[in-house]
Structure 1
Amino acid sequence: MTERIALTVEKLETLAQQHARRAIAALAKVVEDETASPATRISAASTILQWGYGRPGGKAKPGEAGEQVIRLSWGEN
């Protein structure tokens, strides 16, 4: 059976905000982990910076360019 969930940007933002502190803490641990590969550490650092300051080049942050609907599906299509 296929389960489909439609998330509006508002719902997705609310869900992300509920987990934001833990997500940032997890990414910060990766950045500080000297046993992690340089690529992994850079990726984590880049993610933190993008969340905090937006993407370089003046592109709009998610949700600023209008409402988006994201569909997640589990199982068979």
Structure 2
Amino acid sequence: MGEYEIIGTNAENIGGCGFCWYKAGSLGHRRKTDWLKERYVEGLRFKVLRSREFRDIGMIEYARGRPRRQERCVAA
């Protein structure tokens, strides 16, 4: 691992990631982990920025959006 690494998470490895400043095993960490596990099947992606020196220092979660309806231009 370099100085920083972006980790892709899934239902199997999310429990080992630090987020929201919760300690692993705390109620808040368990709730967030359970919520993420439910959202993965809906297409949610959760990436963690891991630092060799400071461990998990950032994260981003995103999901696919709905397709935008194309507007048709009508000449007057």
TM-score under structure 2 normalisation?
0.33
Q: Which has the larger radius of gyration?
A: 2
Q: Which has the higher contact order (CA 8 A, sep 6+)?
A: 1
Larger strand proportion of the pair: 2
